[in-house]
Amino acid sequence: MARRVLIVDDALIMRKRIRDIAEGCGWEVAGEACNGEEAVALYRQEQPDLVTLDIVMPKMDGVTALREVIGMDPDARVVMVSAVDQREKLTECIRTGAIDFIVKPFDVTRLQSLFEKYLAA
């Protein structure tokens, strides 16, 4: 059975890039969301093995969505995705329960390594 990932980013092009890399590493995409509200609802419905979660999004930002996901599932595996200037927010996310992070624009090799690491976990 393939591991399942939920991809959350307000930019369609970023979701597509992450999807392509995830699928290339053997992951099944459980769903995609463009804001934190959708992410929380899809997480509840799909219970994916991993979430890639952008920090800056409309309606509900990634930090708030992370808190909601961790609140309903303390064992959730969430990888934060952020721009270089979001270091303070990333630190907050790691303290909240995120297991890893990638910085945009991300290196494809780094993202592939991340998916391979958590595929085996």
pLDDT of residue 55: 92
pTM as predicted: 0.93
pLDDT of residue 1: 60
pLDDT of residue 60: 92
| Residue 88 structural domain | 4-117
**Residue 31: left if φ>0, alpha if ψ -120 to 50, beta else—which one?**
left
The pLDDT averaged over each successive group of 10 residues in the chain (121 residues) is 90 95 94 97 97 92 95 95 78 90 86 87 69
Tokens representing 110 are 């780094």
- What is the number of domains present in the chain? 1
| CATH number of the CATH domain containing 11 | 3.40.50.2300
Question: What's the rounded Cα separation, in Å, for the pair 30 and 28?
Answer: 6
Question: What's the rounded Cα separation, in Å, for the pair 31 and 8?
Answer: 9
